[in-house]
Amino acid sequence: MEKLLSEDSIALIGYMLNNETIRNKVYSAGEEGETYTAIRVSDSGIVTLGKTKVWWWNRLLKCQFPLTFHQFASAVWDALLDLSAGGNQKALEEGLGKEIMKRAQREKDYNWVVKRLQECYDHVCNNKGGAPIEVGREKSGPSVANVIRTQDNPVTVNVNIDGKTHRKVRIPDATGQAFLTCELGVTDVHVEVD
């Protein structure tokens, strides 16, 4: 059989299958009413579900069920929809579903699909709409608050006027924790009038 999945892609699939929601969706893609306890991924893209953890036993008793890569990717996509919310869910539903159809079914670019699923899992689903961007506020001087929006969450940016204009915005990583703090502002500006 043709090798369509790299070792890295197989490892990323294993990483995503550690999530219970994703694993259960993949198991449910097997025969209706059957219970599976093991998953094996081949480099050809076939994902095999086994009823026991002993693979030779699964083969001997024919208690295994093969999924095409497209069936597997669709099950993971469905799980990602369950793990996301709001605008993220809509983007996954409308965008990622089409990408999977095109790349997996038509182009057989399985490595790209696995990488894309993993990126969505890491950067969209794990965030779960956690804390909005935190905005730091200077303690001294009067301030004027301007409200901006990032997706559905309002964020307040404070501009302090006390001899200088200063803004401090904390940018979160995928978990909602502060990753980077940017300080923007102008200091020591003098205007001379004749």
Q: What is the pLDDT of residue 189?
A: 59
Q: What is the pLDDT of residue 27?
A: 93
Task: For residues 64 and 30, give the distance between their C-alpha atoms in angstroms, rounded to a whole number.
Answer: 9
- Percent of residues in the chain assigned helix, strand, coil, to nearest 5: 40, 25, 35
Q: What is the pLDDT of residue 192?
A: 72
Q: What is the pLDDT of residue 193?
A: 72
Identity of residue 113:
V
Q: What is the pLDDT of residue 148?
A: 38
DSSP string, 98-134: HHHIIIIIIS--HHHHHHHHHHHIIIIITTTT-SPPP
Rg (CA), the chain: 24
What is the DSSP secondary structure assignment for residue 56, as one 8-state letter?
Answer: H
Q: What is the pLDDT of residue 166?
A: 55
DSSP string, 158-187: EEEESSSEEEEEEEE-TTSSEEEEEEEEE-
Kindly give the parts of the chain with pLDDT less than 50: 127-159, 174-175
